[in-house]
């Protein structure tokens, strides 16, 4: 399922409407540096050489396996996700927190692509149908509107055949202000 | 910090007002069995021997290190959490999804202790101050009210000294109905 979806969207990338987003190490190298230079008071952060992005910190196949695509004209990010066995909540099903994690990541990617570096201020999730472990789902997120530094993004999680709506969420992101470090804000 | 809090609450357990909740393997053995017997259509769940609880699937110290205490009179669960380096979102800070995960787990434990087996229907989180990686925080959750099968639980995440409010959330849980399996519901 994941491979089929991937191939299908790689084709859509050919006309330039969709763009495959690079995985962790590449996508964040620029954003990470910018974040650290512009927004971060170094005294806030303890030396932590073992730091790893939460969604990429599992061994192959056990946690989050995903790829994201971005459509700039629609301000939309699609994430194809296979949920591994280490994401269990209730027996046989994915933990609500793992769903929240990928909704936060997908809406966050959408917000940052469309509006620049931003952090989650609110995430409001309705869990409708539990997701069986090891299944593949599609997370579809879209920038709805912008008010000043506020970015409003909505999102849903569906089965690959689109017949099952697993979860819906609305998210609010705040664009970071280069004049204010995180320390100054607190 | 984690050790100090732990010792302090272990003392509070002596008069019976607070109770330390056993860690994963014990707490879930009974609930897991009950869940599987009463609610689960076996055809829904693929054989998955590698399944692990999401919040206990990291190696020591890298992910979620936590202990929970329950106060039955107050219908309240406290969770003391140390956030490991594999929970990173923005550089140096905890991923919003990791915060959501522990809020879901803590409010879920509170709901299940107070009202029986239940699943998350809504989780609405306000992220106020980012949490630096490797810090210890306190998640305080409380059952606010019950309406039929609906359990309303609120929750906040604070620094150990209580001076910083990192996040707040409200959660809605639905008690499972033994007459309806998850398949019949969908």
Percent of chain B with pLDDT over 70: 82
User: Which of the two residues, B60 and B128, has the higher pLDDT score?
Assistant: B128
Q: And the tokens for B163?
A: 């001076």
Q: Which of B35, B91, B171, B184 is the mutation pick for testing A, counting most A CBs within 10 A?
A: B91
Distance CA A134, CA A112 (A): 29
Average pLDDT, chain A: 86
B100's CB contacts (< 8 A; 6+ apart) are A96, A97, A100, A101, A104, A123, A125, B123, B125, B169
Residue B24, chain A, CB below 8 Å: the answer is: no
Per-residue confidence (pLDDT) for residue B177, from 0 to 100: 79
Please compute the mean of the pLDDT values over residues B171-176 and round it to a whole number.
95
**H, E, C per residue of A109-151:** HHHHHHHCCEEEEEEEEEECCCCECCCEEEEEEEEEEEECCEE
Per-residue confidence (pLDDT) for residue B112, from 0 to 100: 92
Of A98, A105, A186, the CB nearest to B54: A98
Question: Is A76's pLDDT higher than 90?
Answer: yes
Question: Is A175's pLDDT higher than 70?
Answer: yes
Q: Tell me the chain B residues in contact with residue A93 when contact means C-beta distances shorter than 8 Å.
A: 45
Given the residues B104, B144, B161, B177, the one annotated as active site = B104
Percentage helix, strand, coil for chain A under 3-state DSSP, each rounded to 5: 35, 35, 30
Is the Cβ pair A119, B130 closer than 8 Å? yes
A73's CB contacts (< 8 A; 6+ apart) are A17
Per-residue confidence (pLDDT) for residue B154, from 0 to 100: 98
Q: Which of A24-28, A166-170, B57-61, B148-152 has the lowest mean pLDDT?
A: A24-28
pTM for the predicted model, two decimal places: 0.89
Residue A40, chain B, CB below 8 Å: the answer is: yes
Question: Is A162's pLDDT higher than 90?
Answer: yes
Q: Tell me the chain B residues in contact with residue A186 when contact means C-beta distances shorter than 8 Å.
A: 129, 164
Q: Tell me the chain B residues in contact with residue A104 when contact means C-beta distances shorter than 8 Å.
A: 89, 95-97, 100
Q: What DSSP assignment string belongs to A78-113?
A: EEEEEE-GGGBSSTTBB-HHHHHHHHHHHHHHHHHH
Exposed / middle / buried, residue B147 (Cβ in 10 Å: 0-12, 13-18, 19+): exposed
Q: Tell me the chain B residues in contact with residue A90 when contact means C-beta distances shorter than 8 Å.
A: 35, 119
Phi, psi of A63 (to 5 degrees): -120, -120
So where are chain A's domains?
Answer: 2-175
Average pLDDT, chain B: 86
Question: Is A49's pLDDT higher than 80?
Answer: no
CATH H-level, domain A2-175: superfamily: Hotdog Thioesterase (3.10.129.10)
Distance CA A37, CA A181 (A): 10
User: Which of the two residues, A35 and B14, has the higher pLDDT score?
Assistant: B14
Q: How confident is the model at residue A186 (pLDDT cuts 50, 70, 90)?
A: very low
Q: Tell me the chain B residues in contact with residue A51 when contact means C-beta distances shorter than 8 Å.
A: 85-86, 88, 91-92, 133
Q: How confident is the model at residue B26 (pLDDT cuts 50, 70, 90)?
A: very low
Give the pLDDT confidence of B59-103 residue by residue, as tens digits.
888 999 999 999 999 999 999 999 999 999 988 899 999 999 999
Of A46, A48, A54, the CB nearest to B95: A54
Q: And the tokens for B143?
A: 């059952």
Per-residue confidence (pLDDT) for residue A46, from 0 to 100: 56
Residue B36, chain A, CB below 8 Å: the answer is: yes
Q: Which of residues 137-156 of A touch B (CB under 8 A)?
A: none
Distance CA B175, CA B14 (A): 31
Per-residue confidence (pLDDT) for residue A182, from 0 to 100: 56
Q: How confident is the model at residue B182 (pLDDT cuts 50, 70, 90)?
A: low
Q: How confident is the model at residue A72 (pLDDT cuts 50, 70, 90)?
A: very high
Cβ-Cβ pairs closer than 8 A, A with B, add up to: 192
Question: Is A44's pLDDT higher than 80?
Answer: no
Q: Are B112 and B130 in contact (CB under 8 A)?
A: no
Q: How confident is the model at residue A180 (pLDDT cuts 50, 70, 90)?
A: low
Nearest 5°: CA angle at B4, between A186 and B7?
140
Question: Is A42's pLDDT higher than 90?
Answer: no
Q: Which residue of A has its CA nearest to B84?
A: A51
Phi, psi of B12 (to 5 degrees): -65, -25
How far CA B101 is from CA of A100, B21, B64, B105, in Å, comes to: 7, 18, 10, 6
Question: Is B184's pLDDT higher than 50?
Answer: no
Give the pLDDT confidence of B130-163 residue by residue, as tens digits.
999 999 999 999 999 999 999 999 999 999 999 9
Question: Is A26's pLDDT higher than 50?
Answer: no
């Amino acid at each position: 399922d994941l491979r089929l979806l991937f191939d299908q969207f790689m084709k859509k990338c050919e006309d330039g409407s969709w763009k495959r987003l690079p995985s962790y190490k590449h996508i964040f190298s620029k954003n990470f540096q910018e974040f650290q230079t512009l927004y971060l008071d170094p005294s806030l952060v303890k030396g932590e050489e073992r730091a790893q992005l939460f969604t990429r910190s599992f061994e192959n196949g056990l946690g989050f396996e995903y790829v994201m695509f971005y459509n700039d004209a629609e301000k939309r990010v699609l994430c194809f996700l296979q949920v591994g066995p280490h994401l269990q909540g209730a027996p046989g099903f994915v933990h609500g927190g793992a769903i929240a994690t990928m909704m936060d990541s997908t809406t966050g990617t959408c917000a940052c692509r469309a509006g620049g570096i931003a952090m989650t201020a609110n995430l409001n999730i309705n869990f409708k149908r539990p997701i069986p472990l090891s299944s593949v789902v599609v997370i579809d997120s879209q920038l709805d509107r912008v008010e000043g530094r506020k970015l409003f993004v909505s999102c849903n999680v569906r089965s690959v055949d689109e017949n099952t709506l697993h979860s819906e969420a609305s998210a609010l992101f705040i664009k970071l202000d280069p004049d204010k470090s995180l320390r100054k804000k607190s």
